[in-house]
Amino acid sequence: MFTSGPQLCPGHPGTATMGASVGLLLLSLLLLLPCIPGLPFYNGFYYSPGGRNLGSGHKEGLFNGVKLVVETPEETLFTHRGANVTLPCRYHYEPALASLRPVRIKWWKLSENGAPEQDVLVAIGQRHRSFGDYEGRAHLQQDREREASLELQDLRPEDSGRYRCEVIDGLEDESGVVELELRGVVFPYQPPQGRYQLNFHEAQRACEEQGAVVASFEQLFRAWEEGLDWCNAGWLQDGSVQYPITLPREPCGGLGLAPGVRSYGPRHHRLHRYDVFCFTAALKGQVYYLEHPEKLTLTEAREACREDSAHIATVGQLFAAWKFRGLDRCDAGWLADGSTRYPVAHPRPNCGPPEPGVRSFGFPDPQSRSYGVYCYRQS
């Protein structure tokens, strides 16, 4: 005759027999663990949210007279697109323990600017699993004892943000935060159809097509501090619409307002239409003006870059090359979106306004042979 095994969450506790071993009793208790109310379950293990600390730096929890301490850096880590970076996280016990204890480690990216939290990696022992866009790019560094650092490879602009490292020992968990920022540049973008043509979802796609992402408010504010002045309102990552003004004037909010970032507040993602502020990070490759014996149509420009073992550059790549490589050229050239622009790092006569920047000629007739081309070659 077969007998049923232990039941999960039995409605009525069974009567223990006198001959039951301690091992079976412990097994039964473990099987009952999922029934304990208020104990969250995550990827195969349980943890208590009560010990979670939302700050950064050194965090500690107390259990059985021993403190679990998690250490992460207070300062922001700066890097660039395509790089590999390590987000440091270590833990120890006070007083020190003579033997190693099994722990679980979880990394996730915190919610910012309306974006949801993102699971990055969960590890138990030598086994780990990464999630979503981080799959294959996120790895746990365990070179030293009590190391829980996260290595991210081939960084993308959307990887900027705050990451939490959580160490779980039994029912105790402590955590710290690491802030990662990619060096980048914010630029306003309009599509070929003209001003105020993009709803929020179209704005996201427009930035992606230019090798960029929709900028956050923090990124736009930093760009304004560095001198960005633009009188057209554009979408930001949190779904709000804003624009930066360094020189107050009548068409841009009036002379009575102080310089700053003007806000229209949150807007409907589908119904409302504006421009967009995009953010792109520093490049791994090279943007250059292709020396060619004659001017080119847009189709000829694409082909000329291909023949030079490159691709026609995006708007984001041109801005990044101007910002971080000092690209300086007074010749307008085709870009991938059909616009023509040129980068000026050192203003001079007959080369546009007196400020550094990327000048635009808009979206000329694609058959026009009045321009050269900017190409991008990956390193």
Q: How buried is residue 231: exposed, middle or buried, by Cβ count under 10 Å (0-12/13-18/19+)?
A: middle
Instruction: Give the fold, CATH level 3, of 184-280.
Output: Mannose-Binding Protein A; Chain A (3.10.100)
Q: What would the pLDDT profile of 94-114 be if each residue is shown by its tens digit?
A: 988 888 888 999 999 998 766
**CB-based contacts of 376: which residues, under 8 Å, 6+ apart?**
283, 285, 286, 287, 305, 310, 311, 312, 313, 314, 317
Q: What would the pLDDT profile of 269-291 be if each residue is shown by its tens digit?
A: 999 999 999 999 888 889 999 99
Q: Sketch the domain layout of the chain as residue ranges.
A: 67-182, 184-280, 283-378
Q: What is the CATH number of domain 283-378?
A: 3.10.100.10
Confidence class for position 253, pLDDT limits 50, 70, 90: confident
Instruction: Give the fold, CATH level 3, of 67-182.
Output: Immunoglobulin-like (2.60.40)
Global confidence as pTM: 0.70
Fold matches, 67-182 and 283-378: no
Q: pLDDT higher for 9 or 219?
A: 219
pLDDT, mean of residues 363-374: 97
CA nearest neighbour of 262 among 229, 226, 238: 229
CA nearest neighbour of 52 among 179, 180, 177, 178: 177
Gyration radius of the chain over CA positions: 28
* CB distance 141 to 153 below 8 Å: no
CA nearest neighbour of 122 among 167, 180, 60, 57: 167
Q: How do 213-214 and 275-281 pair as beta strands? A: antiparallel
pLDDT given for residue 63 in this prediction: 57
pLDDT given for residue 61 in this prediction: 53
pLDDT, mean of residues 343-354: 94
CA nearest neighbour of 148 among 136, 161, 139: 139
Percentage of the chain beyond pLDDT 70 is 83
Q: What would the pLDDT profile of 175-204 be if each residue is shown by its tens digit?
A: 999 999 888 999 999 999 999 999 999 999
Query: What one-character-per-residue DSSP string does 206-271 give?
Result: HHHHTT-EEPPHHHHHHHHHTT----S-EE-TTSEEEEEESS--GGGT-TTSPSEEEEEEE--TTT
d(CA 186, CA 360): 15
pLDDT, mean of residues 143-170: 91
How far out from the chain centre does Cα 204 lie? 14
Q: What would the pLDDT profile of 290-331 be if each residue is shown by its tens digit?
A: 999 999 999 999 999 999 999 999 999 999 999 999 999 999
* CB distance 318 to 358 below 8 Å: yes
Instruction: Determine which of 28-32, 140-144, 187-191, 266-270 has the lowest per-residue pLDDT on average.
Output: 28-32
d(CA 165, CA 318): 36
Res 82 pLDDT > 90: no
Res 36 pLDDT > 80: no
Res 47 pLDDT > 60: no
**CB-based contacts of 178: which residues, under 8 Å, 6+ apart?**
56, 72, 73, 77, 87, 88, 89, 150, 162, 163, 164, 165
pLDDT given for residue 144 in this prediction: 84
pLDDT given for residue 379 in this prediction: 79
d(CA 249, CA 231): 9
Res 9 pLDDT > 70: no
pLDDT given for residue 23 in this prediction: 46
Averaged pLDDT of the chain:
85
The dihedral through the CA atoms of 158, 175, 119, 268 has a sign that is negative
What does each C-alpha distance from 24 to 17, 21, 78, 278, 344 come to in angstroms? 11, 5, 53, 60, 76
pLDDT given for residue 57 in this prediction: 54
pLDDT, mean of residues 30-51: 38
Q: What is the DSSP letter of 277?
A: E
Confidence class for position 37, pLDDT limits 50, 70, 90: very low
Q: pLDDT higher for 197 or 9?
A: 197
**CB-based contacts of 338: which residues, under 8 Å, 6+ apart?**
192, 298, 363, 366
Instruction: Determine which of 40-49, 55-64, 114-123, 135-144 has the lowest per-residue pLDDT on average.
Output: 40-49
Percentage of the chain beyond pLDDT 90 is 66
pLDDT given for residue 19 in this prediction: 43
